[in-house]
Amino acid sequence: MGFLHATTSNKAFIVAIILLLGISMSNGQNSTGAPSIGVCNGRIADDLPSEQDVVTFYQINGIEAMRIYDPNQLTLQALKGTNIQLILGVPNAVLQSLTNPLAATDYVNTNIVSYFPAVKFRYISVGNEVKPTDPESQFVLLAMQNVHNALVSANLHDQIKVSTSVEPSLLGQSYPPSSGVFSEISCPYITPIINFLTSTQSPLLANIYTYFSYIGDTKNIDLCFALFMSPGIVVQDGSLGYQNLFDATLDALYSALEKSGAKDMEIVVSESGWPSAGGMAATLDNARTYYQNLINHVRNGTPKRPGKPIETYLFAMFDENQKGPAATEQHFGLFSPNKQPKYPIKFI
């Protein structure tokens, strides 16, 4: 397939390319006013566009929500006045320092309060994919509490919610989805976090990759089930039928939350994607199929929560040539670093 090239200097030319590719200039919103689809802005690479160019590229593509993984000051400056809603990440390496309330207050004042309301912060993700066995796990809850308290002091706690991004690996059982439950080793870690999120009326953030589930169990997971391409129900769970692995995973997490006493908690899918190269089933066609089907699907909700749009962040905007160790980690981008689209996508 031949790909069109978009330069960084000619905005009109980029718009023409986007229209030619069929990429929508507007993004559907869910019932809370949040965009249903956002895109993660990872920067573990040495060949990416400037922070200002990246933000402009989001605007040109009609992408109304972004996730970043640290308070990159140039990105925050570029986001001012754009109305792009933001998940701001607190890196795992910073968590221990934020167990000090004064340090947390300084962090919030420097990276959030000083940019508000020009930057539309939506969530603060305190830690990403911290596992119960990780050394950082002992710091997550206290860091979350201190960041929240700093937002309370600034009277921003109603507008900006504090959470953390988790993996489905915290589940001890996920099949069928109604049997979803957090594992014994995860419960002492995640249960206090769930209680905190309940008390602050905040969602849980979850990174869901059907790609990794598929390559980890190709004997029992069909590729079509992972790519939203199954022609009919694959998993019958009582009265609920599942045609794709994404819904099954998300509803297993909802079942685990229910069993933890949080039946009304929302889940925001803070990452989901499919690589286009570097490993098993990592092809341009599979990546395009996954992303487009995911975009089309999330407005419909899951079998457990039908009709309720799923706030979802695609991973990621650009390929990142310094990620690893798996080769696939460098190929999750919707675009190449030179802004060349890897395949046509419609954000509808």
Query: 86 pairs with which residues across the strands?
Result: 66, 121
Active site residue 329: no
| Length of the chain, in residues | 348
φ, ψ dihedrals at 54, nearest 5°:
-65, -45
Beta strand ranges found along the chain (DSSP E): 37-40, 65-68, 85-90, 120-128, 161-166, 171-173, 181-182, 204-207, 235-237, 240-242, 267-272, 312-314
- Give the distance from CA 103 to its chain's centroid: 27
What's the CA gap between 27 and 38, in Å, rounded?
9
- Closest to 19 measured CA to CA, from 289, 343, 346: 346
Q: Which amino acid is at 300?
A: N
The DSSP line for 222-276 is -HHHHTT--SS-SEEETTEEESSHHHHHHHHHHHHHHHTT-TT--EEEEEE---S
> 31 exposed, middle or buried (CB, 10 Å; 0-12, 13-18, 19+)?
exposed
Q: Which of 51, 64, 266, 271 is catalytic?
A: 271
Which residues touch 151 (CB under 8 Å, ≥6 apart)? 108, 112, 124, 157, 160, 162
Neighbours of 237 (CB within 10 A): 19
Q: Given the structure tokens 């993984």, which residue do they identify? A: 69
- Closest to 126 measured CA to CA, from 177, 73, 168, 71: 71
Active site residue 64: no
Catalytic site residues? 129, 271
